[in-house]
Amino acid sequence: MTDPVIDVRGVTRRYGEGPPALHDVSLTVRPGECVAVLGPSGSGKSTLLNLLAALDRPDAGTVTVAGTRLERLGEAASARFRRAHVGLVFQFFNLLDDLTVLDNVLLPAQLAGAPARASRAHAASLLDSLGMARHAQAYPGRLSGGERQRVAVARALINRPALLLADEPTGALDTASGEDVRRLLDELHRSGQTIVLVTHDLRLAEASAGRTIRLRDGRVEVRR
Amino acid sequence: MSGLGRVVRSGVRRRRVQTVVVGLVTAAAVTATVLGGGLLVASQAPFDDAFAAQRGAHLTVRADSGAVTEPQLAASASAPGVVAAAGPYRVLVVAFTERGGMRTPPLTVVARADPGGPVDRIELAGGRWPAGPDEIVLSGGAVRVPPGSRLATPGGAEFTVVGTARSVSDTAGAWVLPSAVGVLDGPDTADGYQMLYRFTDARTPTEVGTGRDAVVATLPAGAVTGARSWLDVRQQAVEDAAVFVPFLVAFALLGIVMALLVVGTVVAGTVGVATRRIGILKALGCTPAGVVRAFVAQTLLPAAVGAVAGTVTGNLLALPVLAETEEIYGSANTTIAWWVTVLATGGVLAVVTLTAWAAALRAGRLRTVDAIAVGRASGPARGRWASRLAARLPVARPVGLGLARPFARPARTVAILLAVATGAAAMTFATGLAASLLRIQTALTQDVADVTVTGDPDAGPVADPAAVLAAIDAQPGTRARYGRTQAPGTVAGIADPVSVTTITGDAAWDGFEMVSGRWFAAPGEAVVGGPLLTATGARIGDTVTVRIEGTPVRLRIVGEVFESVMTVFTGTATPTGRNPSEYRVALAPDTEAGAYARALTGALAGRGLTARPSGTETDPLLLVVEGLTATLTLLLLAVAALGVLNMLVLDLRDRVHDLGVHKALGMTPAQTIAMVVASVAGVGLVGGLLGVPAGVAMHRLVVPTMAASGGLHLPEALLDVYGPFLLTALALGGPLTALLGALLPAGWAARTRTATALRSE
Ligand SMILES: Nc1ncnc2c1ncn2[C@@H]1O[C@H](COP(=O)(O)OP(=O)(O)O)[C@@H](O)[C@H]1O
Ligand SMILES: [Mg+2]
């Protein structure tokens, strides 16, 4: 049996006083799985995703992603971990306005010091496969929401990550664009990409995810 | 309004960097201004006070006793514009002999019945006014002979020194009663009359000139042989402290420019960052004026604290300088005038307020819709060409991202550029100033010799110069040497004594700097100091007659040497046939001065001469100037670095979210620091390249002005202090300043919590 891509055990994350944002959460994700995290606003979904991306550290419990224990990583190590193993897609795209589409996509490869030629070729093929090739030299400001999210996905995939994390990828999109992104993620899943996506879009969860997890007040509510 | 104040303040309370920067920059500007203004006033005040108290003479006229009568001179008091006059007094120029044979320089002796009167009330510093024809009072500045001493005239008459006095108008070297004139007069004395005038208007050279012309017009043609304006006397009296003034003014100006720049950008930046907030406030009904007021008040608070601190440091820094000038005037004025402090502080605060107000106007004018829209729509597409270019540069990606950054915020970039350029200019100016002052000092003391040989100048044949020079030459380790002796002399047309230095051997190596012309070569040739040329109106190529101990010597001026006093240097044997009183020796490299001097003293045994390593004592005034220069430069550099820091902090605050994205994509802290540092390195380099020429230009302007206020013409060699190596080092100071300012914010950027950054907006 293959090792899981994600192995979260008994994780608690607390911001200041009050009830923790995550409370004793455990989760395992195997290679090639697509897991949807569902739950109402404020239930701790983004917090969980941040922990998986090593953007944040748990107060208790362990987080292992792609064989790396994340809870003890320093800043530089977590940055290196991210660019090696994780691709991130956000609700509001988070593209850099002053870089072209192509430069946005290339950025993680450049930060990782990947060979320029190979990265360019890979970026071009990603944009091509996402139908964005003709916008390579455009600036994100000119693109529609759906197009921007495609660029964001391309950027997330440039370093061939073991894990794609998406936080409400359709949350800022109209129905048609949302459908677009849904199909894209589904295709990625079919091609074998491991994905964890946070959403309250039930259609997205059903369309792409093989499995769903529900969070409520920081606890895993139902497992199905 | 108070509600608005609270809202804006709370929005800016966390901007500690800006607050500290405003405080510090104001402190620096106030320090420089208080110092500059305070010393400027302090350098004039003692003279002006004394001049008013003594009813000083605006014009001192010397008249030829053969060409004018006493009643004619007395009548000149009614010339137009004259409000008071004194005289005519008889004047004689006499060189006395002290007990023991020491000769005084020729003294201008004025015959006056009493020290009071309507003009030039002479102040007795000690002793009393002469009571009989055999008593004399000396001017404190002229010669130091204690009361009770006896002075003999060339004719053999004896005078007793009964007091020391001081004329702020500098009208005489000594005073006697009119009844002593007959005793003083002899074959060797030049004589004439002195008349003193006060005018209704005498503030400018033109006004004094008008008064002088009116007086001269009432007298027979050719009667007036000399007329000295009080402005010249004042100039001489204040020049020591005045040397400071141009350079302090330069620093004060730099400080104010810096304050303007930094305060302007701080407020503009704060407004820029608070734009959304302002929009919301205005949407809620705040008036534009209310918003502007709140921003100005916010700046004034730290500025006021900084101003108080600057007042204290400025006054403290002035203490050593004032102590120095106090010595020169004998005045007790050791603190900066309070009103200067008030004026400087108020002036700088006014500049800060105006700048803050101008920068905050933008906040007031901001259209509410636009303000609220900020951050929603993508910003103006500035500098994209630069990011495109940088993406293709063969540098690490974070460096490329950093390099493109300045073009995205041109206004902020220009502000950083100016801050760095000002710092580099200050640094360049200060370095050049220190180097020039050192060279000026060396050129004025003309002392680069390693060993000095002194002894009894009149020891007779044993000290035969040829033999002494031969003995020095025979000493191993001698590189160059010459002998010199100094005697007072007079030059026709000027009352003050002239110092005549007779040189045996080649002296041109001993720190002399030529302003123009060449060093003397043939007998009958001489080089002179600039003040002598100014006083006589002579030019290079002219021949002057110098009387040395009564004997006239004709000398052709072949060059002007850099000098602050009236001097003649010649190789021509002087009539007295005096031997050198001093020999100066330069040693070959690696020769130890102490051992050499001991050996030479041994070799010269029996000639009454002793060799000593030359002491190098530095002028305390120079030390003070150099200390001040270093302090003020550090202050300005710190402010420049703070300016950069402030601008970067603002920039990073704008970009917290982008930084978060970068880090989410895998940018390490080291890469973040590289990016931030690269974003200022280029700007710093350009700032350095702009600032260095500005500093050189300032040096070219200020140093000659400083010299001119001391009555000196500067030779080119003393200004030419910037070598290519130094210039390169100074230009690199620009990026270095920028890097210093960038390190702290870069560290903050690297430590920003990614998750937090992504949540913002
Ligand atoms: N950086 C933070 N500081 C303080 N509280 C936070 C922070 N991030 C999230 N929270 C709190 O933690 C809880 C879970 O937040 P989050 O994970 O963003 O929820 P979701 O993504 O499911 O809407 C919320 O109550 C939120 O206010
Ligand atoms: Mg969320």
pLDDT of residue A179: 85
> Which member of A53, A84, A98 has the closest CB to residue B384?
A98
For residue B199, give the nearest of B180, B218, B220, B213 by alpha carbon: B213
> Which member of A94, A99, A111 has the closest CB to residue B387?
A99
Lowest-confidence pick of A32-36, B5-9, B581-585 = B5-9
Mean pLDDT for B191-214 is: 82
pLDDT of residue B209: 80
In B456-566, at which residue ranges do the beta strands (DSSP E only) sit? 478-491, 498-505, 514-517, 525-529, 543-548, 551-561
Euclidean distance between CA atoms A121 and A114, whole angstroms: 12
B17: number of CA atoms within 13 Å, CB side? 23
* Minimal-distance CA residue of chain B relative to A46: B755
Q: Which residue has the higher pLDDT, A28 or B484?
A: A28
Measure in Å the smallest separation between the Cα of B659 and chain A Cα atoms: 10
Euclidean distance between CA atoms B349 and B337, whole angstroms: 19
Q: Ligand 2 centre and the CA of B746: distance in Å?
A: 29
Any idea what DSSP says for residue B103? B
Mean pLDDT for B557-586 is: 77
Any idea what DSSP says for residue B551? E
Other beta carbons within 10 angstroms of residue B138's beta carbon come to: 29
Whether pLDDT at A10 is above 90: yes
Residue A39 belongs to a domain: yes
Euclidean distance between CA atoms A161 and A148, whole angstroms: 20
Residues of B in contact with A80 (CB under 8 A): 666, 668
Any idea what DSSP says for residue B366? -
Which range, A149-163, B183-197, B429-443, B637-651, is most confident?
A149-163
Specify the amino acid at residue B489.
Answer: G
Instruction: Using pLDDT thresholds of 50, 70 and 90, give the confidence band for residue A141.
Output: confident
Residue A1 belongs to a domain: no
Give me A125's structure tokens.
Answer: 């093929």
State whether residue B404 sits within 8 Å of chain A by CB. Answer: yes
Q: Ligand 1 centre and the CA of A49: distance in Å?
A: 11
Mean pLDDT for B90-99 is: 77
Q: How far is CA B487 from the centre of its chain?
A: 31
pLDDT of residue B208: 80
pLDDT (tens digit, 9 = 90+) per residue, B371-423? 544 443 344 556 777 777 777 777 778 888 888 888 887 877 887 788 788 88
pLDDT of residue B302: 85
Whether pLDDT at B293 is above 70: yes
For residue B300, give the nearest of B361, B363, B350, B358 by alpha carbon: B350
Contacts of residue A223, defined as CB under 8 A and 6 or more positions apart, other chains included, come to A213
Q: Determine which residue's CA is closest to atom 14 belonging to ligand 1.
A: A44
pLDDT of residue B71: 87
pLDDT (tens digit, 9 = 90+) per residue, A156-199? 999 999 999 998 888 878 888 888 888 888 888 999 999 999 98
Euclidean distance between CA atoms A139 and B662, whole angstroms: 17
Lowest-confidence pick of B4-8, B175-179, B503-507, B706-710 = B4-8
Q: Which ligand places an atom closest to the C-alpha of A43?
A: 1
Residues of A in contact with B751 (CB under 8 A): 75
Q: Determine which residue's CA is closest to atom 11 belonging to ligand 1.
A: A21
Atom of ligand 1 nearest to the CA of A43: 22
Euclidean distance between CA atoms B210 and B215, whole angstroms: 9
Its sign, for the CA torsion B280, B284, B287, B292, is: negative
**8 Å CB contact of A88 and B751:** no
Counted domains in chain A? 1
Instruction: Using pLDDT thresholds of 50, 70 and 90, give the confidence band for residue B717.
Output: confident
DSSP B380-445: ---SHHHHHHHHHSSS-HHHHHHHHGGGTSHHHHHHHHHHHHHHHHHHHHHHHHHHHHHHHHHHHH
Residue A56 belongs to a domain: yes
Separate counts of helices (H) and strands (E) for chain A: 7, 10
State whether residue B378 sits within 8 Å of chain A by CB. Answer: yes
Which of A41, A47, A48, A199 best tests ligand 1's pocket when mutated (most atoms within 8 Å of CB)?
Answer: A47
pLDDT of residue B745: 80
Residues of A in contact with B379 (CB under 8 A): 97
pLDDT (tens digit, 9 = 90+) per residue, B219-242? 887 777 777 788 777 766 655 555
Any idea what DSSP says for residue B714? P
Instruction: Using pLDDT thresholds of 50, 70 and 90, give the confidence band for residue B459.
Output: very low
Decide if B628 contacts B317 (C-beta within 8 A): yes
Contacts of residue B112, defined as CB under 8 A and 6 or more positions apart, other chains included, come to B89, B122, B175, B176, B177, B178
Specify the amino acid at residue B615.
Answer: G
Inter-CA distances, B329 with B138, B232, B321, B564, Å: 17, 16, 13, 19
Instruction: Using pLDDT thresholds of 50, 70 and 90, give the confidence band for residue A123.
Output: very high
Measure in Å the smallest separation between the Cα of A161 and chain B Cα atoms: 11
**8 Å CB contact of A55 and B758:** yes
**B residues 646-685 closer than 8 Å to A (CB):** 657-658, 660-671
Whether pLDDT at B595 is above 80: yes
Whether pLDDT at A24 is above 90: yes
Instruction: Using pLDDT thresholds of 50, 70 and 90, give the confidence band for residue B332.
Output: very low
**8 Å CB contact of B751 and A75:** yes
**8 Å CB contact of A97 and B378:** yes
Q: Which ligand places an atom closest to the C-alpha of A91?
A: 2
Q: Which of A56, A78, A107, A144 has the highest number of chain B CBs within 10 A, making it the mutation to test binding with B? A: A107
Give the H/E segment covering residue B724. helix B724-751
Whether pLDDT at B331 is above 50: no
State whether residue B126 sits within 8 Å of chain A by CB. Answer: no
For residue B217, give the nearest of B87, B82, B86 by alpha carbon: B82
**8 Å CB contact of A76 and B391:** no
Atom of ligand 1 nearest to the CA of A167: 21
B602: number of CA atoms within 13 Å, CB side? 8
Q: What percent of chain B has pLDDT over 90?
A: 1
Opening angle at CA A175, ends A174 and A180, nearest 5: 100
Euclidean distance between CA atoms B244 and B623, whole angstroms: 12
Count Cβ neighbours within 10 Å for each residue of B39-48 and write b for 16 or more, e otherwise.
bbbbbbbbbe
State whether residue A75 sits within 8 Å of chain B by CB. Answer: yes
Euclidean distance between CA atoms B467 and B451, whole angstroms: 18
Instruction: Using pLDDT thresholds of 50, 70 and 90, give the confidence band for residue B321.
Output: low
pLDDT (tens digit, 9 = 90+) per residue, B34-47? 877 776 666 666 67
Mean pLDDT for B597-615 is: 76
pLDDT (tens digit, 9 = 90+) per residue, B620-650? 556 666 777 777 778 777 777 777 777 777 7
pLDDT of residue A9: 94
Mean pLDDT for B334-339 is: 73
For residue B199, give the nearest of B167, B173, B227 by alpha carbon: B227
Domain chopping of chain B, boundaries = 1-44+238-375, 54-235, 382-445+618-761, 448-613
Decide if B755 contacts A56 (C-beta within 8 A): yes
Q: Ligand 1 centre and the CA of A44: distance in Å?
A: 6
ipTM of model: 0.76
Residues of A in contact with B404 (CB under 8 A): 98
Whether pLDDT at B654 is above 50: yes
Q: Ligand 1 centre and the CA of B278: distance in Å?
A: 27
Decide if B231 contacts B130 (C-beta within 8 A): no
Q: What is the CATH number of the domain that holds A19?
A: 3.40.50.300
3-state secondary structure of A9: strand
Give me B756's structure tokens.
Answer: 């937090």
Inter-CA distances, B434 with B31, B428, B438, B448, B730, Å: 20, 10, 6, 18, 14
Residue A54 belongs to a domain: yes
Q: Which of B407, B658, B665 has the highest number of chain A CBs within 10 A, making it the mutation to test binding with A? A: B665
Q: Determine which residue's CA is closest to atom 3 belonging to ligand 1.
A: A15
Instruction: Using pLDDT thresholds of 50, 70 and 90, give the confidence band for residue B589.
Output: confident
For residue A212, give the nearest of A194, A190, A197 by alpha carbon: A197
Euclidean distance between CA atoms B289 and B277, whole angstroms: 16
Specify the amino acid at residue B324.
Answer: E
Residues of A in contact with B666 (CB under 8 A): 79-80, 82-84, 108, 111-112, 159
Mean pLDDT for B728-737 is: 83
DSSP A58-75: -SEEEEEETTEE-TT--H
Q: Which residue has the higher pLDDT, B750 or B722?
A: B722
> Which member of B381, B391, B665 has the closest CB to residue A139?
B381
Q: Ligand 2 centre and the CA of B667: distance in Å?
A: 23
Q: Which residue has the higher pLDDT, A116 or B65?
A: A116
Q: Using CA atoms of B681, B644, B29, B308 in order, give the dihedral in degrees to the nearest 10.
A: -150
Tell me what the pLDDT averaged over chain B comes to. Answer: 76
Domain that holds residue A185: 6-223
Mean pLDDT for A50-64 is: 91
pLDDT of residue B504: 83
3-state secondary structure of A14: coil
Q: Which residue has the higher pLDDT, B1 or B657?
A: B657
**8 Å CB contact of B662 and A94:** no
